[in-house]
Structure 1
Amino acid sequence: MITNPEQLRQHLLQARFEVLPLRGAVEQAAQLPAGSTVTVTASASKGPDRTVEVAIRLRELGLHVVPHLAARSITGQVQLAELLDRTAAAGIDEVFVIAGDRPEPVGEFADAPGLLSAIEELGRRPARIGIAGYPESHAFIPDVETARALDVKARHADYVVSQICFDPAATGAWIRAVRERGMTLPIHIGAPGVVDMHRLLRISLKIGLGDSLRFLRKQPGVVSKLLTRYTPEALFDELAHHLADPVSGVAGWHLFTFNEVAKTLQWRQELAQRLREVPA
């Protein structure tokens, strides 16, 4: 039973949307209402300049834009300063710092903590900085190191976005664990938007979501879903109570659209309407 449908509806309407800096990303994100928050991921192949270029174009459309800065794709402090200056000049006051997927760094930054420290040393810190959290094992980093890195990154950040996890119990356990360690930053729960199922599985394998995929495949009806599309509605149902629990410190949803913004936006509007019709 939904105990606070209006609160859930507001969180849904304020969800963050994530896009990839690929062809068509600007046109897709342009369909979002003005003022919506859109994050632009980092691309190891296209480099940080492409991310910033897309972010600036989206900012010109009236969106609140958050470019990802990937430590392993930035050559050094000179390039970092240039990227921060370009975003600031465009009116972008928020960035999202990650390590990035490159096997080897192109310059002096090997991880997110190093990049966060460099941003502060440069004296160019944006108003807000986000960092990533991992509810289940990272594809390349041991669990102990992942937990330690999150605690270090949190000292320089304003909020956390969780990586995709199809298992709501794992996400809930992770939220409790980080709170028990004393991390107090707001958490945005990451979830896929409305995505072609084959594409979602392919991307999930690429980024190492093995545990999540094993969980997903055990769920009733997953075979038929493979032929259609994925929606995050089941995850929303299972995790909604965290938004109402002040101890959880959950700020809202972060939707990984994989550039299928239009489908995700339509789904959000339909679900928001259904929540409006639920008796309080």
Structure 2
Amino acid sequence: MRNRRHAELLARLVADARYEVLPTPSVEDTVLTHLPRERVITVTASPGKGLGATLDLAERLAGHGYLVVPHLAARMVHGRGELAEICERLTGKGIARVFVPGGDAEADGTYPDALSLLEDLADLGRPFSHVGIAGYPESHPTIHDDLTVQSMWDKRRYATHVVSNLTFDPGTIRVWVRRMRDRGITMPLLLGLPGPVERTKLLAMATKIGVGESTRFLVKHKGTLARLAAPGGFTGERFLEQCAPALAMPDANVAGLHVFTFNQIEATETWRNDLLHQLTR
């Protein structure tokens, strides 16, 4: 990378990258084997596994000494009483960080969206010191772009930072960060990107978690498809280099990276260490 200032910025972000994992039966042992205790781990929530799997894994990882961020998907919480129990359960284990998306499930209780749950968290005394909300650089499958920006504005009083969903287009990041900051959403941003993962899994998961536009982008950019198909899968070096000018804007306020591991944890940590070495040599 020729621009030293950009390299220093990316080195800082890569050094403190946090990892998102899926609550599968084997992931706890994989995390313990391959990740140092200072790595921040976020644990997803899905309708198929239920919120209990998320909370159980978060508690176990916290017990091992990790800083853990469970996802509290609003539509999976059955009302304020259950929310209060979740807060007591997590804070009792020393967990002070959460991520609050709306979630993909149909609403089971009183929370049709993330904002309604965030409002109740505030009424419950704001039990968590760090509260993340979702940002969508690309079109969300069910929410118009303008509404996603407005949603961040509505939630800004209850959150401490924004976590961006996946995109493969650096130009999209540039436009989206500008729109967000022009709207007055000034919270720190954690930039989402995929770690190294096999092409077929990446494309399948990307479509499921709300980045269907990325599939169309990939079809138009054969070089990116070729990189995804190459041995070792997708890596984010070039993506981050191309994002660097946008991330370095004075008001960008990019505080870190949120790496979607798809549970390819060993490969992701190896990639992160190699990239950090490249950026700091």
| TM-score after normalising by structure 1 | 0.94
Q: In structure 2, what is the Cα distance between the partners aligned to 1:146 and 1:224?
A: 30
Q: Which amino acid aligns with 1:150?
A: M
Q: Equivalent residues in 2 for 1:116-265 (5 A)?
A: 116-221=118-223, 222-223=225-226, 225-226=228-229, 228=231, 229-265=233-269
> Gaps spanning 5+ residues in structure 2: where?
none
Which deviates more, 65-74 or 118-127?
Answer: 118-127
Asked if structure 2 preserves the Cα contact closer than 8 Å seen for 1:21 and 1:40, the reply is yes
Identity %: 41
Q: Which amino acid aligns with 1:154?
A: R
| Aligned match for 2:35, one of 32, 46, 51 | 32
**Would you say 1:83 and 2:86 are equivalent positions?**
yes
Q: In structure 1, what is the Cα distance between the partners aligned to 2:245 and 2:272?
A: 18
Which deviates more, 233-242 or 173-182?
Answer: 233-242
> Gaps spanning 5+ residues in structure 1: where?
none
Asked if structure 2 preserves the Cα contact closer than 8 Å seen for 1:109 and 1:115, the reply is yes
Residue 224 of structure 1 deviates from its aligned partner by 5.9
* CA 227–198 in structure 1, closer or farther in 2 if over 3 Å, else same: farther
Count matched residues.
276
Q: In structure 2, what is the Cα distance between the partners aligned to 1:192 and 1:129?
A: 22
Residue 72 of structure 1 deviates from its aligned partner by 0.5
Number of the residue aligned with 1:69: 72
Number of the residue aligned with 1:110: 112
Which deviates more, 92-101 or 230-239?
Answer: 230-239
Q: In structure 1, what is the Cα distance between the partners aligned to 2:189 and 2:240?
A: 15
Q: In structure 2, what is the Cα distance between the partners aligned to 1:173 and 1:270?
A: 29
Number of the residue aligned with 1:3: 4
Describe the SS at the equivalent of 2:158. Answer: coil
CA RMSD, 1 decimal: 1.5
Q: Which amino acid aligns with 2:259?
A: L
Residue 123 of structure 1 deviates from its aligned partner by 2.0
* CA 6–146 in structure 1, closer or farther in 2 if over 3 Å, else same: closer
Describe the SS at the equivalent of 1:161. Answer: strand
